[in-house]
Amino acid sequence: MKEKEFIKSSIKTQKAKNLLKKELSRAGIVNIDIEPTTLGHRIRIVAEKPGLVIGKKGKTVKRLKNKLEKDLGLEDVEIDIEEVERRNLHPELICNWIKAMLSRGMRANRVSKRAINSIMDDGAIGAEIIITGVITGANTYSKQEKSSKGYIKKAGDETRKVREKKDSVILPQGKVGIKVKIVPPEAQFRDKTNPEEYIEVKKEENKESEEEKEE
């Protein structure tokens, strides 16, 4: 019985997320968390443009609340809205920007390089962007444009520390795939040592050894 209830709740939660993403596609949604509470459901939305989530005089957020309660059966919905900090560290928003630039006719190599530089300027440890498909109107064959900077973890459990988003855009010449990977500033890896820190530690150890010898 409990298992059936859990499955029903999971399906309802996923439907709610899909509805919110569709309704708020222009708001630059980064994350949606839905948490059951003793009274109902608390929803936390992180967006690039929180004003579009709220709407004029709160009309949009009230409409969404009513829709979630009446159409999907969520009880006593509370919606908290947060604005994105350091937007260039979120692959969802970088993907949206890349899609917009490609749709305007900007060359894929230029788009990827500009995006990589923006990501690294915001403090990322590493970043990688791959654009695949018929990315120029003159060519009728698929190719890949890849740009990367800094450190990217490629294998092992620690790859979960890398933020990743896959998306696609339909251009006049065909479908183009986009993959963005970002290593945020706070990520730490066991196999990555800052050489400067290592040198400083060594200096301190040598200094202590010399002082011990003098004594």
Q: Which CATH superfamily is domain 2-83 in?
A: K homology (KH) domain (3.30.300.20)
pLDDT of residue 28: 87
Question: Mind listing the pLDDT tens digit for each residue in 147-182?
Answer: 999 998 888 888 888 999 999 999 988 899 999 999
Residues of the chain with pLDDT under 50: 1, 195-203, 205, 213
Separation of alpha carbons 122 and 184, rounded Å? 9
The answer to whether 128 touches 178, Cβ cutoff 8 Å, is no
pLDDT of residue 131: 95
* Nearest Cα residue to 93 out of 185, 182, 188: 182
Class of 87-183 in CATH: alpha beta
* Nearest Cα residue to 52 out of 21, 16, 14, 17: 21
Where in the chain are all domains bearing CATH 3.30.300.20? 2-83
Separation of alpha carbons 24 and 54, rounded Å? 10
pLDDT of residue 140: 60
pLDDT of residue 73: 86
Separation of alpha carbons 134 and 21, rounded Å? 28
pLDDT of residue 200: 47
